[in-house]
């Protein structure tokens, strides 16, 4: 089994500097099963690998993708609109908006990523709702931050509306990656 697969999802980053656990110093040359792991390393492992992320947030089920940065979910039997934090996508053609460059593509990308029935985890920041009553959240598909994936595809840009900045750095990094690769909005062929 690959080393990373053996750890909780938060551990590969936290343990990037550690060698393969099998290479930890043995206490005896004669016993292959006796390992010496310094107490400080054990403390780091326990802290870094605690399943805190799995208990954080709320589990919801996607019912509809509204546009590239807004979804509707079933949360405890109630349909709730959710705005992906720290991300802004072009508007799609709709009853209240005119289509912007790649707005329909951003919506289609998110709809492919989160079809109805998809279970997601919603993680909030300091302000839980916006002025329209939408839930503001980092939306996770397994351990993947969907907000950043839309930016990574080049279909959204980072936005910072304080005090909600929890997911901003991840969206900025993904956006920079898309710009460097000339994806989506950054592809001159799209004319955006």
Q: Give the active site residues.
A: 83, 91, 134
**Could you give the C-alpha distances from 63 to 67, 120, 151, 181, in angstroms and in order?**
13, 11, 22, 32
Give the span between the Cα atoms of 116 and 32, in whole angstroms: 51
Residue 108 CB partners (closer than 8 Å, separation 6+): none
Give the span between the Cα atoms of 85 and 167, in whole angstroms: 7
Give the span between the Cα atoms of 126 and 165, in whole angstroms: 9
């Amino acid at each position: 089994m690959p080393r990373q697969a053996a750890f909780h999802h938060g551990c590969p980053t936290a343990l990037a500097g550690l060698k393969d656990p099998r290479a930890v110093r043995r206490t005896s040359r004669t016993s292959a099963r006796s390992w010496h792991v310094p107490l400080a390393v054990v403390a780091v492992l326990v802290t870094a690998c605690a399943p805190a992320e799995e208990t954080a947030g709320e589990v919801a089920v996607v019912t509809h993708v509204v546009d590239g940065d807004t979804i509707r979910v079933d949360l405890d039997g109630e349909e709730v609109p959710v705005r992906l934090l720290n991300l802004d996508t072009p508007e799609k053609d709709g009853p209240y908006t005119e289509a912007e460059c790649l707005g329909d593509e951003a919506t289609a990308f998110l709809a492919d990523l989160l079809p109805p029935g998809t279970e997601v985890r919603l993680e909030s920041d300091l302000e839980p709702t916006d002025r329209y009553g939408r839930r503001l959240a980092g939306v996770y598909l397994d351990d993947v931050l969907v907000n950043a994936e839309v930016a990574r595809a080049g279909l959204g840009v980072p936005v910072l509306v304080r005090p909600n900045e929890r997911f901003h750095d991840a969206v900025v990094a993904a956006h920079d990656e898309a710009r460097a690769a000339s994806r989506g909005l950054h592809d001159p062929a799209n004319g955006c």
